[in-house]
Amino acid sequence: MIKVGVVGGSGYTGGELLRLLSIHPEVEVVWVTSRRFVGKNVSDIHPNLRRFIDIKFTNYKKENVDSVDLVFLCLPHTKSMEIVKDIYGEVKIIDLSADFRLKSPSTYEKYYTKHVCPELLKYAVYGLPEINREDIRKSSLIANPGCNSTAIILGLYPLTSLLEDKIVTIDIKEGSSASGRSPSISNIHAERSHTVRIYKPMNHRHLAEVKEVLGISNVSMSAHAVGMTRGVFATIYVFGDNIPSEKEIWKLYRSKYTEEKFVRIVNRKYPPYNLPDIKGVVYSNFCDVGFRVDKDNNRLIIFSALDNLIKGAAGQAIQNMNLMFGLEESMGLWYPGFLV
């Protein structure tokens, strides 16, 4: 059994991670920390975990790291790096924050803040198995990708050879769980539900990951909050001359994803559900991708959908854990989502 500790287990990502870990056949959750809820039962904060995670939240203590094989960090951006600095080399780490996703300290500083251990950035592997599987297996520090970044990168990855002279414009629609469990005015149900709100017209932090991982620069992104709890839907427009035919695009997607368990090409000719849909992926570790070629407008449109808390966070972290420990990659993750 893999013994794991979870630092920062009271948020939505931590809760989803604990839910998935609790049913994983090769994992024992040894401790879960929360500064805010120390001493409380984990199931008092995550009631869905009653009878599955019967331990209390503790304070984070460095010496507790000795009791586990793997530490998950489910902390806000800029908090994780303090702990990684402290424990790197002593235990395997999967960091679900953005602190180790970018290779360049100056890019990190531009989008977040000054990095406290930039010398460790080169050891972190960007935890997107569909791209970095072999490096993940050998790594002891995984930077788990962002939810939007995962949707975008998986949507564009088969096309990277085409993108150099193209303009890429991304439209993101995201559910409320992506903004975390801390209350704010914009997250009150009355104000968040039944609306579409542009929350980041430009300079979204996840764009830095997209640019770095795909090696592209002509890319922009606008992100909208929509009235659903879970899910990320990316509509990606690629403009330029010489857009290939749909059959050629099929070939590119097949070359990358035919063997991938968690990426499904959803590109059927007729509706309904002929293209990715949030309904097809929520509560699962799948990312569905599809596309259309709009020849009249020199435009390729890519659609990518995933559950922000699973393939966009906790599920992907477990996929990474499985790889790091030599387990079947889909262990504990092989189930469909919920349609309704």
Partner 1 sequence: MKLICPECGAEIILEDKPVENEIVECSECGAQLVVKQVNPEIILEVLEDIGEDWGE
**Helical pair 315-324 and 129-138, crossing angle rounded to 10 deg:** 40
Q: What's the min distance (Å) between Cβ of 173 and partner 1?
A: 20
Q: Is 170 helix (H, G, I), strand (E, B) or coil?
A: strand
Q: Which stretch binds partner 1 (CB under 8 A): 93-101, 247-255, 303-311, 321-329?
A: 247-255
| Interaction between residue 246 and partner 1 (CB under 8 A) | yes
Q: How far is the CB of 46 from partner 1 (least distance, A)?
A: 40
Residue range at the interface with partner 1 (CB under 8 A); choices 177-185, 271-279, 293-301, 319-327: 271-279
Strands 125-126 and 141-143 turn out to be parallel
Measured CA to CA, the distance from residue 63 to residue 3 in angstroms comes to: 15
The residues that are catalytic are 147
As a whole number of angstroms, the distance between CA 129 and CA 48 comes to 28
Measured from the CB of residue 162, what is the shortest distance to partner 1 in angstroms? 17
Count of residues touching partner 1 (by CB under 8 A): 12
Query: Within the chain, where are the H helices?
Result: 12-22, 42-45, 80-87, 105-111, 129-138, 147-156, 189-192, 206-214, 246-257, 315-324
Q: Does 271 bind partner 1 (CB under 8 A)?
A: yes
- Give the per-residue contact string, 199-238, with partner 1 (x = CB under 8 A; - = no): ----------------------------------------
Nearer to partner 1, 100 or 291 (CB): 291
Residue 269 CB, shortest distance to partner 1, in Å, is 4
CB of 292 to partner 1, least distance (A): 11
Which residue reads 């414009």 in tokens?
169
Angle of helix 315-324 versus helix 12-22 axis, rounded to 10: 50
Of 63, 66, 247, 340, the residue at the interface with partner 1 (CB under 8 A) is 247
Instruction: Decide: 127 and 73 in contact? Cβ < 8 Å.
Output: no
What secondary structure letter does DSSP report for 1?
A: -
Q: Which of 167, 274, 295, 328 binds partner 1 (CB under 8 A)?
A: 274
Measured distance CA(211)–CA(239) in Å, rounded: 17
Comparison of 181 and 268: residue with beta carbon closer to partner 1: 268
Question: Residues, the chain, total?
Answer: 340
Cβ-based nearer residue to partner 1, 125 or 249: 249
**Closest separation between CB of residue 267 and partner 1, Å?**
6
Nearer to partner 1, 194 or 270 (CB): 270
Which of 51, 122, 241, 272 lies at the binding interface for partner 1 (CB under 8 A)?
Answer: 272
Determine which residue in the list 123, 237, 250, 325 makes contact with partner 1, applying CB under 8 A. 250
Which lies closer to partner 1 via its Cβ, residue 36 or residue 251?
Answer: 251
- Pick the closer one to partner 1 by CB: 171 or 246: 246
Shortest distance (Å) from residue 260 CB to partner 1: 15
Of 158 and 332, nearer to partner 1 (C-beta) is 158
Buried b (16+ CB within 10 A) or exposed e, 74-111: bbebbebbebbeebbeebbbbbbbbbbbbeeeebbeeb
Rounded CA separation 18/250 (Å): 37
* CA end-to-end span of the chain: 34
Three-class SS state of 152: helix
Binding mask 251-270 for partner 1 (x = CB under 8 A): x-------------x-xxxx
Interface ranges with partner 1 (CB under 8 A)? 246-247, 250-251, 265, 267-272, 274
